[in-house]
Structure 1
Amino acid sequence: MTKYAIGGGIFERSDSLIEAVLSQAHQSRERPRCLCKTPGLPMYIARTSDNHFLLKRMSNSGQSHHPDCESYEIPPELSGRGAVAQTAITESHESGFTNLKLDFALSKLSLNRTIVKGESQEATSVRSDPAKLSIRSLLHCLYEDAGLNKWSPKMEDKRSWYIIRKYLLQAAQSKLVRNHPLAETLLIPEQFSLNYKDDIVARRRQFLSRLKKQGNKQPMGILIGEVKAIEKARFGFKMIVKHMPDTPVYLGEDTYKRIAKIFSKELAFFHENESIHLLAICTFCLSASGSPQVDTISFMTVDQSWLAFESIEELELIERLRHEKRHFIKGLRYNLNEKDIIASLLLTDTKQQPTAVYLVPAGASESYYDELNTIVESSDLYSKVLDVNQKESHDII
């Protein structure tokens, strides 16, 4: 567990006194130090919209931390974050907040269309405005800032929806969209408990009540949840989300057809493998009857330990590394489309330095190999290429 020097003492994030210590350090404008390396790296303290305090790394310092540190960030060429950092994601050390620019609306004047954000459509929008986050990119941003793309053997069997929700909400707490707290528009269903069912339902209804139409303006919320099923409804379809099955999210028939086409791979994994979780992120508004209706939607597949993956080869690689008790970080695409080459993951337990692992897909073209070689040669990291088109051993360092 990473330790921090704050106010003359040494603390971990889990210490019971950490909130009071961070509050005092925030008032005195102290820079805590992360002790993952000697003599320590400066950090800053973010004050959330609900008056809690978070310890965050300084901008552009992620690669300076030790690979096992909670604040370590993979190099920009290994994920899609590098393309949106400092444009769509900007941090203010003075205020402690992170400002996000989104390419989708959180309110509208009419209810006449639904947007399905898949890879092919995202590629078009990304090309036109790379300085804003798509809805899939927002999920990737929260997932990475929550540390849910990182893995170590100590995490085995310790991730549940309670944990996923907790850290996603924590990641959202210090983020603003047009100077408005992101967390206030975010609905992540609470883990169901029969003993607290009435309280959970009451809190959800209170959240939804804030989305009622205000004159000509229709506010929208952002839902992140695990899909239980997508079923035929009386008119169109409905998405059943785990932990809130009493509140289906409705989809038009045309929307469902586009989802089935654009996300055919994600839906196939979900239907054919019981250990796979399918995460949905969508903006939604309320119908005249008060039911949630999808406006913009995207999906992400994660394995039984909630690690994201894009292909069967990548799933098999992740499962293999988990079985071998390795430490690694999964790269996420953000705005990049499936044709853009990024590392599948970064091994952080190799002896000399972290090792980027690239997976070459079946049927890769000559231009793909040329681009991959350029990326590998220009990176300062050691790289390992696993090519499913070759018969040689696919041993990993």
Structure 2
Amino acid sequence: MLNRRYSVLVSGKRYSSEFQTDQQYARSWKIILEKAYGTHAICQCPSNGSRKLSIKRREDSDGFHLARFAGTGHEHSNECRYYAPAPERSGMQGYAAGVVEEGEDGSIRVRLARGIRVQDPRSEGCESDSVKRSAGKSKPAMTLLGLLHLLWSESRLSTWYPAMEGKRNSSIVNYALLQAAERVSASRMKLSEVLLLAAQKDSKGAARNQAIAKSALSRDLRLVSISPLARYSPERHSEHMSRLPIAGPFGMPMLNLPSTVWATAARRFERELSAWRRGSRVISIAQFTQRKGDSFLQGDVVELALMQVSERWIPVDSDYEGVIEGKLHAAGRSFDKPLRYDADESEVFPDFWLLDTGKDFPLEVFGMSTPAYLERKDIKTAWYNREYGGEGWWSWNAAVDPKGKNIPPFPPKS
């Protein structure tokens, strides 16, 4: 079970998860936290870390709450609500200092390559150019794809446990993304203030989208939409689409897709678009500026990024990864997909982490046989052997076994 609330120690006394949440104990819990304010609590999740928790005042009331200390998320167990992966376990390691900053209240501040405020001079630059200028170095800002990866990771949508079977759908995904967006800020505002999510007709989500869009128009703010692409149709989705084809567009402005933006996206996300045309679920994240003075809301997309996900909404970076994700699910395994963000290819981290072997176990899929890739494979193999030992990691060489007839067995559960 993800985002589990464990007992905590406050002033040396243990308080159960029920005591922290049941309404009958709300007044007593508030008094306890108020008396301990200025000290810290300790989470009792099963982990060897210090697991200290800060006691914080709520901004919108006279209450108190607990939050993990900045940079300590990895000290908690993976199931714990205070958990966050260490940067070196994913592409988060590829950012320069200051691009992603975690607050003591659990909030996250990010520096986007294109700002949210239209009048921000820095925001007029090209997101992808910002990354290209620093290829091979720590990235000076987060791209739109990096932002999508951040929200997916913070929402714990990149993690799967067998107990989730049948419990992850579009409504759950949207709720998790919106909760994460409440904690992520950019351009000195919460991302939730400019985030539109897929919604059905006449739903609360559609009404929320419409209200967010109208508010952003009056404040000169760019909007960000996250939605699966609509089911591919050869008749409607030509090579030169003029509108972004998203599922659940209700309440959103009509998204016009300039040819230059589409051409850039088609080049950068050729693999994802190919998967979409074959029927796979692909998530879009678009940043757009609304047009003023029109009789109905519409906007012009200025940046577009895509991400393929499995039936369980787990991101996959190749069809071979999709095969492994499916086999892990069929085997009833618990696993996590570390995301690349904007990291350079030189950064090393696994394709998956197994979470049910006693200690997190790295899985790697080798998918090509070009000279450059084989050189890279040797580097990664040496790194894995050095970090985990020859028996401490798993790999499948899909380049010599493309039909998956000889996929090695996964390490056993603990």
TM range (shorter): 0.7 to 0.9
**C-alpha contact 2:110 2:185 (8 A) present in aligned 1:** yes
1:221 match: 223
Distance (whole Å) between structure 2 residues aligned to residue 73 and residue 325 of structure 1: 23
Is 1:269 the counterpart of 2:270 in the alignment?
Answer: no
1:82 match: 93
Alignment of 1:144-223 (within 5 A): 144-190=153-199, 192=200, 197=202, 200-212=205-217, 218-223=220-225
Shift of 1:50: 6.4
1:239 match: 244
- Structure 1 residues 312, 123: closer, same or farther in 2, change over 3 A? farther
SS class of match (2:288): strand
Moved more, 47-56 or 201-210: 47-56
2:53 match: 43
1:65 match: 76
- Structure 1 residues 198, 268: closer, same or farther in 2, change over 3 A? closer
**C-alpha contact 2:84 2:154 (8 A) present in aligned 1:** no
Moved more, 236-245 or 124-133: 124-133
Distance (whole Å) between structure 2 residues aligned to residue 50 and residue 334 of structure 1: 33
Total equivalences in the alignment: 383
Alignment of 1:1-397 (within 5 A): 1=1, 2=4, 3-5=6-8, 8-11=14-17, 15-17=21-23, 27=34, 28-29=37-38, 31-37=40-46, 41-44=51-54, 55-84=66-95, 87-93=98-104, 96-109=106-119, 122-124=131-133, 127=136, 130-190=139-199, 192=200, 197=202, 200-212=205-217, 218-228=220-230, 237-245=242-250, 247=252, 248-273=254-279, 276-288=280-292, 289=294, 290-337=297-344, 340-351=347-358, 353-364=359-370, 365-380=373-388, 382-390=392-400, 393-397=407-411
AA aligned opposite 1:361: G
Unaligned runs of 5+ in 2: none
**C-alpha contact 2:194 2:216 (8 A) present in aligned 1:** no
**C-alpha contact 1:6 1:21 (8 A) present in aligned 2:** no
**C-alpha contact 2:70 2:106 (8 A) present in aligned 1:** no
Unaligned runs of 5+ in 1: none
- Structure 1 residues 207, 67: closer, same or farther in 2, change over 3 A? closer
SS class of match (2:393): strand
**C-alpha contact 1:117 1:298 (8 A) present in aligned 2:** no
Distance (whole Å) between structure 1 residues aligned to residue 345 and residue 301 of structure 2: 24
SS class of match (1:305): coil
- Structure 1 residues 56, 174: closer, same or farther in 2, change over 3 A? same
- Structure 1 residues 129, 65: closer, same or farther in 2, change over 3 A? closer
CA deviation profile, 1:114-147 (whole Å, cap 9, x unmatched): 99867x9845455576132111111111111111
**C-alpha contact 1:116 1:255 (8 A) present in aligned 2:** no
**C-alpha contact 1:81 1:334 (8 A) present in aligned 2:** yes
TM-score by length of 2: 0.79
CA deviation profile, 1:246-290 (whole Å, cap 9, x unmatched): 6431101232223222212111111212xx321111211112323
Moved more, 238-247 or 25-34: 25-34
RMSD: 3.6
CA deviation profile, 1:296-353 (whole Å, cap 9, x unmatched): 22111111110000100000000100000001111100112457543111001114x2
Distance (whole Å) between structure 1 residues aligned to residue 47 and residue 131 of structure 2: 43
**C-alpha contact 1:135 1:298 (8 A) present in aligned 2:** yes
Shift of 1:78: 3.4
Distance (whole Å) between structure 2 residues aligned to residue 210 and residue 279 of structure 1: 25
